[in-house]
Amino acid sequence: MTATGRTMLAFALLAPLAAQAGERLAPPQELQVFDTPNDGGNSLTVTWAPAPHDGPGTRYLVMVGEAGPPTGTSPSLAGMTVIADFPSDSHYVRDARTPWWSRSVPKTHHQYEIKRGRGNGNGVKDGTSYAVVVSAVRGHESMMAPALQSVPQPNWFNWNELNNLAIVVLFGLVVFGSIQVARKREIFLRRIAGLDAVDEAIGRSTELGKPILYLTGAGDMSEPSTIAAAVILGRVAKRVAAYETELMVPHRDPIVMAVCQEITKQSYLEAGKPDAFKEDSNFFITTDQFSYTAAVDGIMLRKKPAANFFMGSYFAESLLLTETGASTGAIQIAGTDSDHQLPFFVTTCDYTLIGEELYAASAYLSREPVQLGTLRGQDIGKAVVLGMLGIGTALATLSVMTGLDVSIVLDLFKDLK
Amino acid sequence: MTFAERMLRIDRRIIFLLIGACTLIPLLFPMGLAIKTSPEVTSVYDYIEHMPEGSVFLLSLDFDPASKPELYPQAVALLHHAFTRNLRVIGMTLWLPGTGMANEVITHVAQERGKVNGKDYVFLGWSPGGGSVIINMGQSISTAFPTDYYNQPTASLPVLEGVQSLRDVQYVVSLAAGTTGIETWYVFGKDKYKFELGGGCTGVIAPGLYPLLRSGQINGLIGGLRGAAEYEVLIGRKGRAVAGMDAQSVTHLAIIVLVILCNVFYLTIRRSTRGGGQASPAGN
Amino acid sequence: MNFFRRRLPLLITFVTGVLFALQYYVPHPVSESMLTSVTKWLQIIGGFALVLGVTSLFHLHAVKIRRKEPGWGYSFVLYAGMIGTIAVGLWHNGKETVDNVTTAFGWIYNFMMVPLQGTMFAILAFFIASAAYRSFRARSPEAAVLLIAAIIVMMGRVPLGEHLIPLSGDLTQWILNVLNASVRRAILIGVSLGAIALSLKIIFGVERAYLGGGKE
Amino acid sequence: MSFELILGAWVAAGLTLFILTFLYQDNPLFKLAEHLYVGVSVGYAIVKTYDTVLVRLIYEPMLKPGITQGEWAKGDWSLLIPLTIGALMLARYAPKTAWMSRIAFAFVVGVGSGLAIPRVVSSYILKQIEDTVRPLLMLGADGGVSFTASLADPASNLNSIVLLIGVVSVLFYFFFSVEHTGPGRVVARTGIVFLMISFGAGFGYTVMARMSLLIGRLTDLIEFSQPQYGGATWWLLALTIATLIAFRLRRGETEPPR
């Protein structure tokens, strides 16, 4: 290191000390001790204002002791224990990550939370009064603020989570409101391109005179994707009935099979071909993942269906099914919300309804107010999220450019506890 | 049928044989290629490396035998690291079919490191309920698991001294093969009980966890066999994962070649049909 | 009876749903201890739910054997495997190891269940390769994008790929960390809105499919 | 080496090979191993559930309080509540009492939905928005405003912009209330490109996952082919192939020629 370098380093080290030496050590000002808000109890919070002497050379000590009977005099230091000792340029209110609406002290103040845990001994107990003292220490010098008393207690509401609750309530109102609207009048839904692909596939099967295979996935009737698969089956069955093509629907869940049987029957009725309906077009194979897959693969290889539909939820078996299906030269249409299987459906199928498109397709076909209303409610939710992203980014950028404090808006979009 | 069409329609069993060979040969004759470490894995390593001795580390082995080749080596590496650092280790699983493996890996590594059950580590076993188990552990570990896997009361185990709930655990790593795993540990655990959370997962679910990694909801992510191999390199103890990476290299390259071949044939077919269509009127 | 069959379940869902949604915002010990008790109960009920899933399988194969349907012999194998495992498991109190010695139950687990399940999924390795060769085609610009991203990630995740094209490792990191993360995040937000809507509909009795079971 | 280990190696190697025969075609060996797999895993689940739920979570805390301490020192009779709810669930199997199971499902689904709502908002909505909302410029060390364009740093401004575009366009793609025409078409197209990149990454990563499983199985087979296991893999491989040929021949005899 050069001589100049060394001098500069020494200067850099000395500079803050010199500045501090100039500031007289003072007792912590604006000291407040209160029950920690928004928590389950057994904790007190101490806050005090920053001082000119704050810096690496100065430290703060926090001492706590059980307060005696309230005599009006300041409690004695005997029986108090030091529970925290930290540099005076640390422990600020802003470190605690709380939103502006639940803060009572400026962000620049110091803050320390007294509770059981790492290095805090047994902490403080609810219902007991404690005296807290904070002192500023530099070398052998120390200045103490007068002791303050407070009682920790548990709270009934976590105000930090107010934005969370507001989102739940507002979104709930939007969803139920949309369902009400959908009950009264038509709701617009954009055309789902995948549905044209469905019709095209049925058309081609008819031309070739080959059967159609339709799978409803691994889920039971409580899963939204299975419900959507059953609704779309209704549409497919109606078309199939009109063209008198053969339909095969192998199942993994007996209840789903029963439901689908009803739906298929209804579709044939609506198409005016009740005689063409075959009870055994819906059939049960087994609940087990791989036995089912092996059996369906067998059907694909033997019967060579012209179109395969994979709707509903799928697991690892997806690739075993679609790869075999692709090898028989069938048109394959998939629709699933199982996102880790989507890459395989997208690569091996001719058309894939991705995630929510499956629900949308089902709502589009069923025209059921609850489904349509929910979809609209979610759309409004997404629009709000898009708005939050736009406004948030704009404000955050503005804040960097102008130094403006925008936390009054940004805190609303944050998950602070 | 043209050559390209014939090639695209070859029996898939030929490809099966090719893949089998590409996996088998590097396993028998390893090459030992160097493995680079990524920031996702390093941050898990660094966190454990900087934990003070005796602090509590919980490893949740949330996978079943189907994911053993990927996640078992991760568990081995993490446990070796934790035991070397003299951390107190709590093992458990949220996946029923994984119980036997989880017990085996913990016991095995502990034995190798000379650690004592009940004093240096504990295996809590499995409990049903997924998220409810985590919430319950956040309130009290001895309520969620009154006894450990070997029926010892958890409340009186030396290793759990001073550890009443998840609030007293410093670091949790979930090795997950599905949705009951890392996300569950975040949503029902870290979010409220404030421990640090890391993740290890199979390659299938890894891409879906990146949003959580970016937002700091998990502090690191060990992805698949590659992640396990990186961790083995970091702790300087090469095992099954590093050994498997050679086979990975060859099979991956084989698949890339297959994809390229597929597209070359596909494009020739497309061009020839298109070209043929244009040529015929001109020929007439 | 209509009250017990129809209204009571809806009322229970409503009360418990609202109660436990609000619990999140109440840090008081009363609310916390309520959470502790109920999650403990859910652990136990979760065990019963597992039994429920198993019973239907039990029933299914019993019918197959009784009616001597095609392939009933395999159902017999299934039963033998199940009953053998249960008998051995109960004999050893459900422990795979006792004093570091593997029990017969642990043996069944290590040498039957682990290789069987592992191999079942290992089959997928072959199918993924065959799919890559036979159907991974650049049929459209979108498919081409997928294909290129897949090739880069495959290159960048293995040592040999990084060795041949050093850039692929960094590129893979970028794809996963930025491009992929943004998509997954959007999907996560969308799916979460859907999940909240569904939960709210369940709590307020608009969605009742979960009740199923048992005729009115 | 102990007899159990050698026997184990033979069984494991045999079952592995039986399952792998599925690659040739669906056949009785595969079906046998597959049904055995279902049976053993169901049996395992039953034993574990019995041991964990009935013994460790119900019987011991309720009736054998002596072995535990603290809160568990007294018998915990409140456990009768989940026991009853669980029993109601099983009522589903008798047609007459099936309706009672609804009460149990109502409880489980109600609590589950309630627990999920605020947590999903916190973890998957607010947290994700919070991390996506980032300033598009950075405050430099000199106090001036700068733009970081490094692709390697996930937190750089350029990457924040890319991330924002991705999140917005994909969210818009799943927006069903407006037609994808005009500028909407451009945004939706961007969304689909982002989706495809993510699926590509998913495909690539999954290749690694599936290959790992194969590597795991082959490593075991290699180990079991060693002489200390009596070359189990080789013998069983020969046996499996012979059986497959036998099946093929027998089927050829019974099936009439086409």
Q: What is the mean pLDDT of residues D132-145?
A: 84
Substitution target in B116, B259, B264 with the highest count of C β-carbons within 10 Å is B259
Per-residue confidence (pLDDT) for residue C3, from 0 to 100? 80
Is residue D223 a contact partner of residue B228, using CB atoms and an 8 Å limit? no
220-249 in chain B: CB under 8 A from chain A: none
- Pairwise CB contact (< 8 Å): B147 & D60: yes
CA gyration radius, chain A:
34
In the block, residue with structure tokens 């199923």: C212
The pTM score is: 0.91
Domain locations along chain A: 22-157, 160-184+372-413, 193-367
Residue ranges of chain A with pLDDT lower than 50? 1-20, 72, 118-119
Contact (Cβ atoms closer than 8 angstroms) between residue B106 and residue B89? yes
Angle at A36 between CA A30 and CA A40, to 5 degrees: 175
Q: Is the pLDDT of residue D127 over 50?
A: yes
Q: What is the ipTM of this complex?
A: 0.90
Inspect the interface and report whether the beta carbons of B97 and D215 lie closer than 8 Å. Answer: no
Give residue D256's pLDDT band: very low, low, confident or very high (50, 70, 90): very low
What is d(CA C121, CA D135) in angstroms, rounded to the nearest whole number?
A: 45
Return the residue of A nearest to C26 by Cα. A157
Q: Which CATH number fits domain A193-367: 3.30.70, 3.30.1330, 1.10.10, 3.40.50?
A: 3.40.50
**Domain coordinates in residue numbering, chain C:** 1-64, 138-206
Please, what is the average pLDDT of chain B? 90
Q: How big is the A-D interface in CB pairs under 8 Å?
A: 120
pLDDT at B276: 41
CA–CA dist C97, A300 (Å, integer): 45
Encoding tokens for residue A354? 């991705």
Alpha-carbon distance B284 to nearest alpha carbon in chain D (angstroms): 42
**Contacting partners of chain D (3+ CB pairs under 8 A):** A, B, C
Distances (CA, A) of B260 to B17, B254, B257: 19, 10, 5
Matching fold, domains A22-157 and A193-367: no
Q: Give the Cα separation of C158 and A380 in Å (integer).
A: 43
Here the tokens at position B90 are 């709590």
Cβ–Cβ of C196/A171 closer than 8 Å? Answer: yes
Cα dihedral B198, B204, B209, B211 sign: positive
Q: Where are the domains of chain B?
A: 1-26+243-271, 39-238
Take residue A316 and report the two structure tokens written for it: 């690892």
Are B205 and B178 in contact by the 8 Å Cβ rule? The answer is yes
Which residues from B are below 8 Å from C45, CB to CB? 129
Instruction: Name residue A329's amino acid.
Output: G
C125 CB within 8 Å of a chain A CB:
no
**Residue D248: closest CA among D43, D29, D76, D3:** D29
Do the bridges between strand A351-354 and strand A331-336 make them parallel or antiparallel, or are there none, so unpaired? parallel
Task: Say what the pLDDT of residue B274 is.
Answer: 64
Query: Using CB atoms and an 8 Å cut-off, which of residues 25-84 of chain C contact chain B?
Result: 32-33, 35-36, 38-40, 42-47, 49-50
* C–D CB contacts, 8 A cutoff, strictly below: 407
- What pLDDT is recorded for position C55? 76
Q: Report, in angstroms and rounded to the nearest whole number, the Rg of chain B calculated over CA atoms.
A: 24
Subunits touching C (CB < 8 Å, at least 3 pairs)?
Answer: A, B, D
CATH architecture of the domain covering B39-238: 3-Layer(aba) Sandwich (3.40)
Residue B133 in tokens? 């188990």
CB-based contact D133 A393, cutoff 8 Å: yes
pLDDT per 10-residue tile (average), chain C, 216 residues: 81 95 94 91 86 77 86 89 94 88 92 92 91 85 93 94 92 95 95 94 85 46
pLDDT of the residue at A69: 60
d(CA B48, CA A220): 42
CA distances from A174 to A379, B280, D122 (A): 10, 61, 19
Give the separation between CA D104 and CA C214, rounded to whole angstroms. Answer: 13
Q: Which residues of D189-225 are buried (b: 16+ CB within 10 A; e: fewer)?
A: ebbbbbbbbbbbbbbbbbbbbbbbbbbbbbbbbeebb
Work out the pLDDT band at D72, boundaries 50, 70, 90: very low
Contact check, Cβ <8 Å, D219/B156: no
Confidence at residue A77, expressed as pLDDT on a 0 to 100 scale: 65
Give the gap in angstroms from C-alpha A340 to the nearest C-alpha of chain B.
6
Nearest to C194 among A348, A356, A370 (CB): A356
Report the range of poorest mean pLDDT among B15-24, B87-96, D91-100.
D91-100
The answer to whether C145 contacts chain A (CB < 8 Å) is no
pLDDT in tens, D5-38: 999 999 999 999 999 999 988 889 998 998 999 8
CATH superfamily of A22-157: Immunoglobulins (2.60.40.10)
Q: Is the pLDDT of residue B69 over 50?
A: yes
Whether A190 and A361 have beta carbons less than 8 Å apart is answered as: no
Instruction: At A336, give phi and psi (nearest 5°).
Output: -155, 155
Task: Tell me which chain C residue has its CA closest to the CA of residue A178.
Answer: C197
Q: In angstroms, what CA-CA distances link B152 with B120, B139, B146?
A: 14, 20, 8
What is the sign, positive or negative, of the torsion defined by CA atoms of C147, C152, C158, C160? positive
Contact call for A340 and B167, based on CB within 8 A = no
Chain A residue nearest residue D180, CA to CA:
A190
For CA atoms C8, C11, C15, C21, the dihedral sign is positive
Which of chain C's residues have a Cβ under 8 Å away from the Cβ of B267? 138
CB pair distance less than 8 Å for D202 and A357: no
What would the pLDDT profile of B72-108 be if each residue is shown by its tens digit?
A: 999 999 999 999 999 999 999 999 999 999 999 999 9
Q: Are B208 and A327 within 8 A, CB to CB?
A: no
3-state helix, strand, coil in chain B (%, to 5): 60, 15, 25
Q: What is the per-residue pLDDT for B32?
A: 84
pLDDT at A251: 93
Q: Does C133 touch chain A (CB under 8 A)?
A: no
Strands A43-48 and A110-115: antiparallel
Of chain B residues 166-225, which have a CB less than 8 A from chain D?
183, 186-188, 191, 202-204, 206-208, 211, 214-217, 223-225
Encoded tokens for A409: 């808006």
What's the pLDDT tens digit per position in B175-201? 999 888 999 999 999 988 989 999 999
Percentage helix, strand, coil for chain C under 3-state DSSP, each rounded to 5: 80, 0, 20
